[in-house]
Amino acid sequence: MAILKILQYPDERLHTVAAPVAQVTDEIRLLVKDMADTMYAAPGIGLAATQVDVHKRVIVIDVSETHDQLLVLINPEIIASNGISDYEEGCLSVPGIYGKVQRAESVTVRAWNAEGESYVLDANGLLAVCIQHEMDHLAGKVFVEYWSQLKQSRMLAKLKKKQRSAIHV
């Protein structure tokens, strides 16, 4: 079990666009396992490889209550979306910060699983939001960047204050 270091916003590495995975190897399967361990330990419901400073198109998600339904998306691609929803989001890379983001209500995504097999998944609600949120990470975007400049400035000030007080503890 390896717990990886999660990059914290506004780290510039979070803006790196992830490269496609050419094929699922043992190295990719180990990355998936380590990312899952990291996500569960955080605790969180989704993690993109970009957040652990690995710039490959790999995502792990588990929105189940029991934390035993790991979803692996390698090279995910949204092939359809419907509706609009406002969801209160948080992020392991922006701890303690939450806010609404407008996203598609449902998505159809095509991806590979940890064995390299292609599959298509229809998702709605929290799972759809989580998929879109994590795919943003692969594109180098963090959810707070959907907010107005004023709201982003306030959030950054709050983060800096938290970091300063953590140093003095």
Half-sphere exposure of 102 (CA within 13 A, CB side): 4
* Alpha-carbon distance values, 152 to 15, 48, 50, 132, 161 (Å): 16, 22, 21, 20, 14
120-126 average pLDDT score: 97
Q: Which residue in the list 65, 115, 117, 134 is annotated as catalytic?
A: 134
Six-digit token pair at 141? 């975007």
pTM of the predicted model as reported, rounded to 2 decimal places: 0.95
Tokens 């609600």: give the residue. 125
CATH 3.90.45.10 fits 12-167, yes or no: yes
Q: Of 50, 8, 10, 45, which is closest to residue 31 (Cα–Cα)?
A: 50
Coil, strand, or helix at residue 90?
A: strand
Confidence tier at 168 by pLDDT (50, 70, 90): low
Confidence tier at 90 by pLDDT (50, 70, 90): very high
Is there a catalytic annotation at residue 115?
A: no
107-134 average pLDDT score: 98
Asked if residue 163 has pLDDT above 80, the reply is no
Confidence tier at 164 by pLDDT (50, 70, 90): confident
Confidence tier at 63 by pLDDT (50, 70, 90): very high
Asked if residue 169 has pLDDT above 80, the reply is no
